[in-house]
């Protein structure tokens, strides 16, 4: 047996590659030469009992890296967590076992439970490259996951995380499949349902392809990064919480997949259902309301697509022991006035506080959903959920519950206001017939949302309004002039963003 020295000292590159482990090595170092490593080689870096598979970037010029040293990106550094002077070994990793399963899916085969288990295991161990993950996501896109495959993927994803145990208490939950800017009903619904005494430990995601996720919006008003013990304490005290799910490892594989879905800007019905229901099961929910907004520019574009999604949700729910109620809602236009974390938080607070100018559409949608959830409970069903929900909101009990939840999560803050604003006005006169959800969302994202909490849009006109030339349509909010200008010029160039029809009277 030949003894090969394949070790190097570790240094911290201080480079953020967005969760992709990267290792930087000099082209002329003895390890690259001995092991035959070249740019983009996947390399297993081992330090004691910890290891990570990283993509190699080769240094061909310059001298920022000392000899006999390899530098790690932030993600690789945090996994290995080295001490000064530690030497790691660098080897060719075994080819990940699940690559053949991904290939089979790419070629159109149906996968079995053990194949999904292998893929999710390799996802969690970061054995798959970003390109492998993109191939897996693409191969499952559209309707290429069957219902049995969706059930298997859901089970794999749930099994890979922790599941909360609430004993015999009935746990409620809600989810919206998204695609509708400003549709921020969750904080209102949770406050109403918790005020009614039902237990709803709500976890939400951050935005994937939208300008704000519920966690992003809620974070403007209260801390959302709760650990499992804090979440349990909040829910046991207040019956509800509105937390970020990413801190709880409920479906940790999902967080890795989302990292690739985000730049690709597409996902699939199968992965959507597996992502949503694996998290609902992991949080311990048994009765779950799913809101599906339908509209030509929403995520779900037609009643037919909504039916297919409903069928898939219910089949998977049945298989894993969840009672689902699917609520189709109007998805033709943005909801409320604000789009972006802080701007949506202002709408939520206006509804809870019963402000005179509070957006009526957001209030109505929240009451519909809270009512449907109350109807899932034997103890509140007979009284009529919708009416009970309205009483809880109008009496101020929902507002009080929301403030109590915020306090329990770490304290309430009032949303701030962005530094720069720009108004976009109409160049035509007539009736505002439609707003394109996708381009509205894109404009808000160009303005900096959700990364910049205060950035986004405030709508100044509603579908159905009579519009004159020069009438303000919306206001762009941004934290930097570059983003303000970029969002404004995109919005000005999009003639289909707002459709204005000539009056024919």
By CB under 8 A, residue 481 contacts its own copies: yes
By CB under 8 A, residue 309 contacts its own copies: no
Q: How many other C-beta atoms lie within 10 A of the C-beta of residue 399? A: 19
> Interface mask (CB under 8 A) for its own copies, residues 434-463, using x and -?
------------x-x--xx-----------
> Interface mask (CB under 8 A) for its own copies, residues 320-359, using x and -?
----------------------------------------
- 288: burial class by Cβ within 10 Å (0-12, 13-18, 19+)? buried
From the list 173, 125, 158, the residue with the least C-alpha distance to 249 is 158
Closer residue to its own copies, CB minimum distance, 259 or 427: 259
Cβ atoms of 312 and 270 within 8 Å: the answer is yes
By CB under 8 A, residue 13 contacts its own copies: yes
* Binding residue for its own copies, selected from 7, 9, 35, 431, defined by CB under 8 A: 35
* Binding residue for its own copies, selected from 265, 356, 382, 505, defined by CB under 8 A: 265
Q: Which range touches its own copies (CB under 8 A), out of 61-69, 151-159, 169-177, 370-378?
A: 61-69
Is the peptide bond preceding residue 450 cis, with omega within 30 degrees of 0?
yes
Cβ atoms of 5 and 38 within 8 Å: the answer is no
> Interface mask (CB under 8 A) for its own copies, residues 134-163, using x and -?
xx-xxx-xx---------------------
Closer residue to its own copies, CB minimum distance, 272 or 281: 272
By CB under 8 A, residue 44 contacts its own copies: no
Catalytic residue, chosen from 267, 269, 291, 375, is 267
Q: How far is the C-alpha of 224 from the C-alpha of 217, rounded, in Å? A: 10
* Binding residue for its own copies, selected from 51, 53, 57, 444, defined by CB under 8 A: 57
Q: How far is the CB of 26 from its own copies (least distance, A)?
A: 10
Please report where in the chains the tokens 């604000």 appear, as a residue. 338
β-pair type (7-12, 69-72): parallel
By CB under 8 A, residue 6 contacts its own copies: yes
Q: Which of residues 242-261 bind its own copies (CB under 8 A)?
A: 260
Closer residue to its own copies, CB minimum distance, 72 or 367: 72
Q: Is the C-alpha dihedral spanning 466, 472, 477, 481 positive or negative? A: positive
Cβ atoms of 211 and 445 within 8 Å: the answer is yes
By CB under 8 A, residue 64 contacts its own copies: yes
* Binding residue for its own copies, selected from 61, 165, 356, 505, defined by CB under 8 A: 61
267 an active-site residue? yes
Closer residue to its own copies, CB minimum distance, 155 or 445: 445
Specify the 3-state DSSP secondary structure of 141: coil
Q: Which range touches its own copies (CB under 8 A), out of 133-141, 304-312, 339-347, 463-471?
A: 133-141
Closer residue to its own copies, CB minimum distance, 45 or 398: 45
First to last CA, the chain: 92
Q: How many other C-beta atoms lie within 10 A of the C-beta of residue 39? A: 12
Q: How many residues bind its own copies (CB under 8 A)?
A: 63
Cβ atoms of 294 and 306 within 8 Å: the answer is yes
By CB under 8 A, residue 407 contacts its own copies: no
By CB under 8 A, residue 24 contacts its own copies: yes
354: left (phi over 0), alpha (psi -120 to 50) or beta: left
- What is the full DSSP assignment across 301-359? -SHHHHHHHHHHHHHHHHHHT-EEEEEEEE-SS--SSEESHHHHHHHHHHHHTT-TT--
Q: How far is the CB of 82 from its own copies (least distance, A)?
A: 14
Closer residue to its own copies, CB minimum distance, 35 or 475: 35
Specify the 3-state DSSP secondary structure of 107: coil
Query: Please, which residues have CB within 8 angstroms of residue 395's CB and are 6 or more apart in sequence?
Result: none
By CB under 8 A, residue 58 contacts its own copies: yes
- What is the full DSSP assignment across 159-182? HTS-----TT--BEEEEE---STT
Can you give the binding site for its own copies, defined by CB under 8 A? 2, 4, 6, 12-18, 24, 27, 33-36, 38-40, 57-62, 64, 73-74, 91-92, 99, 103, 106-108, 129-132, 134-135, 137-139, 141-142, 260, 263-266, 446, 448, 451-452, 479-486
Q: Would you name the residues annotated as active-site residues?
A: 267
């Amino acid at each position: 047996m030949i003894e090969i020295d394949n070790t190097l000292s570790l240094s911290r590159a201080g480079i953020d590659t967005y969760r992709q482990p990267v290792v930087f090595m000099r082209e002329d170092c003895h390890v690259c030469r001995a092991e035959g490593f070249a740019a983009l080689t996947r390399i297993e870096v081992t330090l004691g009992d910890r290891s990570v598979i990283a993509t190699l970037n080769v240094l061909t010029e310059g001298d920022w890296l000392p000899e006999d040293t390899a530098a790690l990106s932030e993600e690789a550094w945090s996994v290995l967590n080295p001490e000064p002077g530690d030497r790691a070994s660098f080897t060719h990793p075994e080819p990940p076992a699940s690559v053949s399963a991904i290939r089979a899916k790419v070629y159109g085969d149906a996968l079995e439970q053990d194949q999904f288990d292998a893929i999710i295991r390799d996802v969690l161990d970061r054995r798959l490259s970003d390109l492998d993950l993109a191939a897996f996501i693409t191969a499952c896109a559209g309707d290429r996951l069957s219902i049995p495959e969706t059930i298997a993927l859901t089970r794999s994803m749930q099994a890979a995380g922790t599941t909360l145990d609430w004993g015999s208490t009935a746990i409620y939950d809600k989810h919206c499949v998204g695609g509708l800017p400003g549709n921020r009903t969750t904080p209102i619904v949770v406050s109403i349902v918790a005020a009614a005494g039902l237990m709803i430990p709500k976890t939400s995601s951050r935005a994937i392809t939208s300008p704000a996720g519920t966690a992003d919006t809620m974070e403007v008003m209260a801390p959302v990064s709760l650990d499992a013990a804090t979440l349990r304490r909040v829910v046991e005290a207040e019956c509800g919480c509105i937390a970020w799910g990413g801190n709880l490892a409920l479906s940790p594989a999902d967080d890795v997949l989302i990292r690739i879905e985000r730049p690709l800007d597409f996902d699939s019905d199968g992965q959507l259902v597996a992502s949503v229901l694996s998290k609902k099961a992991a949080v311990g929910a048994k009765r779950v309301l799913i809101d599906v907004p339908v509209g030509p520019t929403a995520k779900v574009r037609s009643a037919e697509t909504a039916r297919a999604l409903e069928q898939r949700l219910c089949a998977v729910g049945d298989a894993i022991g969840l009672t689902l109620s699917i609520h189709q809602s109007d998805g033709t236009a943005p909801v409320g006035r604000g789009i972006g974390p802080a701007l949506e938080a202002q709408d939520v607070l206006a509804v809870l506080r019963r402000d005179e100018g509070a957006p009526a559409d957001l209030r109505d949608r929240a009451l519909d959903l809270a009512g449907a959830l109350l109807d899932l409970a034997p103890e509140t069903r007979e009284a009529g959920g919708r009416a009970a929900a309205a009483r809880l909101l109008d009496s101020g009990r929902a507002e009080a519950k929301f403030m109590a939840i915020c306090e329990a999560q770490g304290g309430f803050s009032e949303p701030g206001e962005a530094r720069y604003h720009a108004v976009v006005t109409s160049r035509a006169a007539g009736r505002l017939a439609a707003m394109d959800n996708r381009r509205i969302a894109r404009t808000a994202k160009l303005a900096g949302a959700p990364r910049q909490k205060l950035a986004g849009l405030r709508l100044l006109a509603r579908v159905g309004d009579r519009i004159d030339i020069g009438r303000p349509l919306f206001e762009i909010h941004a934290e930097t002039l570059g983003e303000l200008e970029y969002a404004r010029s995109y919005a000005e160039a999009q003639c289909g963003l707002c459709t204005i029809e000539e009056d024919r009277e």
